[in-house]
Chains A and B, each alone.
Chain A
Amino acid sequence: MPRTRRRNSPDARRRLRTGSRPFQGKAGPLATQRELSDFLAEVERRAYKQALFAVRDDSIALDIVQDAMLKLTERYCARPLAELPLLFQRILQNTIRDHFRRQKVRSMWTLPISSLFKGDPDDDTDPLETLEANDDSRFSEPPAEQAERSQVLAFIEKALEKLPARQRQAFLLRYWEELDVAAAAKIMGCSEGSVKTHCSRATHALAAILGKQGIKL
Chain B
Amino acid sequence: MNQSEQELAQKLVGYLDDGLDRIEPRVRERLAAARMNALANYHAQPALGLAGSGIVMTWITGHARLMFAAAALVVATAGFVYWQSARQSNGLAELDAYLLTDELPINAYLDKGFDSWLKRSSR
Name A residues whose Cβ lies closer than 8 Å to a Cβ of B: 2-3, 5-8, 13, 16, 30, 33, 36-37, 40-41, 44-46, 48-49, 58, 62, 65-66, 69-70, 72-74, 77-78, 134, 136, 138, 149-150, 152-153, 156-157, 171, 174-176, 196, 199-200, 203-204, 206-207, 217
Contacts and interface: CB of A to CB of B under 8 A. Distances in A.
Main DSSP-derived SS at the B contact region = helix
Contacts of B39: 33, 36-37, 40, 73
Contacts of A33: 39, 42
A2 B10 CA distance: 10
Given A62-B31, A73-B41, A149 B13 contact: no
B11 A49 contact: no
B14 A37 contact: no
Interface of B: 1, 5, 8-23, 27-28, 30-32, 34-35, 37-39, 41-43, 45-46, 51
B19 A69 contact: no
Given A36-B42, A199-B1, A6 B17 contact: yes
Contact of B34 (A3, A62, A175): A62
Given A153-B18, A156-B12, A175-B9, A70 B41 contact: yes
Contact of A200 (B1, B35, B43): B1
Given A150-B22, A196-B1, A217 B12 contact: yes
Contacts of A13: 10
24 contacts: A5-B10, A5-B17, A33-B39, A44-B32, A45-B20, A48-B31, A49-B16, A58-B27, A62-B27, A62-B34, A69-B34, A70-B38, A73-B38, A78-B45, A138-B22, A149-B15, A153-B18, A157-B19, A171-B9, A199-B9, A200-B5, A203-B9, A206-B8, A217-B12
